[in-house]
Amino acid sequence: MPVSAEEVKVAGLELVFPTNHRVFRRADDYFEKKFKTHFGRNSQTCAKVWSEVTKLEWLLERTHQKPQLKHFLWCMNFMHAYRTEGEACTMFDCDEKTWRKWTWVYATAISKLTAKYVKFEDRLIGDTQDVCTMTVDGTDFKIWEPRPFSKEQNKIWYSSKFKGAGVRYELAIAIKTGEIVWINGPFPCGWGPDLKIFNQTLKTCLLPFEKIMADRNYRDSDKAYTKCHVEKYEDDTHETITKEYAAIAILLARHETVNGRFKEFGCLNQVYRHERSKHHILFSAVAVIIQIEMRHGGRPVFDTAAAAYADPILNYHY
């Protein structure tokens, strides 16, 4: 049931401003700004996500009714603003049970697009038989402290990044395209460092000659290429940074840009207050939305010319 970005924008604004018709007399950029304020992404991205969700047979089997754009927009607002049920239901004039049902139905539906939009084999798009195909990093998200309190139990969930309980995901970005090609998690933050998570699964999926590019936390792995493996300066004057070091810095900065986009969603930036078993649903749904936004929403990560700049080191250690 595809709809245009304009139709999605109008539907969203009518939900937020049901009686204020004056808002529709403003310029188009004002409409788009207001829409993004409440739903997190532009109308073009939301229209594409809606189009993909309505194609899912799972959604029809789960709900036994025609998909409603209103419920999808509730979900987008839920993930973006992460308001309490009382606040959200007052804003959208609905019952808390109804809000809870439909936000999670559509969040689950979006997460089921992960297999279509996040593909490990996509790391080889534009393949030139490079050794380094991906940048990899772990990213932490806050959760409520486990109850009842137990020193040993709470230690497993402790994240040193924000001095509290959290879950960690492993994220891989293709060097050639800048798109997400791997997500893995959640893991309790205290379970182990990023390298332990990498060794458990992703390392076993790499080709024999293949390596990842990562930060210094991965320096002890024979499958990782980090700043520790290159010289920082060209000479003893410490004035000129080497191309290899600069390339790694650029690619890792691009990775952090993608990590930051996950934190733009309130459900991942605020302290997560729902069942821990459902956290991966929201993370996967957000990953799909970010991927669609990069491809169709006019917001790609910064120029992948960084990949070309890194060519001198991609074939390093063949």
Could you give the CA distance from residue 86 to residue 95 in angstroms, rounded to a whole number? 9
Tens-place pLDDT, residues 104-139: 999 999 999 999 999 999 999 887 767 889 999 999
Could you give the CA distance from residue 34 to residue 37 in angstroms, rounded to a whole number? 5
Q: What is the DSSP letter of 236?
A: T
Tens-place pLDDT, residues 197-208: 999 999 999 999
Residues near 32 by beta carbon (within 8 Å), at least 6 away in sequence: 9, 42, 43
Q: In whole angstroms, what separates CA 42 from the centre of its chain?
A: 16
Model pLDDT, residue 244 = 84
Residues near 108 by beta carbon (within 8 Å), at least 6 away in sequence: 62, 281, 285
Model pLDDT, residue 224 = 93
User: DSSP labels for 73-96?
Assistant: HHHHHHHHH---HHHHHHHHT--H
Q: What are phi and psi of 78, to 5 degrees?
A: -60, -50
| pTM for this model (two decimals) | 0.91
Beta strands 158-159; 132-142: pairing state: unpaired
What is the average per-residue pLDDT within 100-105? 97
Residue 311: pLDDT band (50, 70, 90) is low
Residue 316: pLDDT band (50, 70, 90) is very low
Higher pLDDT pick, 175 / 148: 175
Model pLDDT, residue 314 = 54
Model pLDDT, residue 317 = 40
Tens-place pLDDT, residues 235-294: 776 667 788 888 889 999 999 999 999 999 999 999 999 999 999 999 999 999 999 999
Higher pLDDT pick, 100 / 148: 100
Q: How many CB atoms lie within 10 A of CB 231?
A: 11
**Mean pLDDT score of the chain, rounded to an integer?**
88
Model pLDDT, residue 88 = 95
Could you give the CA distance from residue 123 to residue 104 in angstroms, rounded to a whole number? 30
Residue 301: pLDDT band (50, 70, 90) is confident
Tens-place pLDDT, residues 5-39: 888 988 888 888 766 545 555 556 788 888 999 99
Q: What are phi and psi of 18, to 5 degrees?
A: -65, -25
Run of H or E including 199:
helix 194-200
Model pLDDT, residue 29 = 78
- In which residue are the tokens 């019952």 written? 95
Closest CA to 118 of 63, 170, 70, 61: 170
Model pLDDT, residue 19 = 60
Q: What are phi and psi of 32, to 5 degrees?
A: -65, -40
Beta strands 211-213; 224-225: pairing state: parallel
What is the average per-residue pLDDT within 137-160? 88
Model pLDDT, residue 28 = 67
Q: Quote the radius of gyration of the chain (alpha carbons, Å).
A: 22
In this predicted structure, the answer to whether residue 195 has a pLDDT above a threshold of 60 is yes
Model pLDDT, residue 162 = 87
Model pLDDT, residue 2 = 76
In this predicted structure, the answer to whether residue 1 has a pLDDT above a threshold of 80 is no
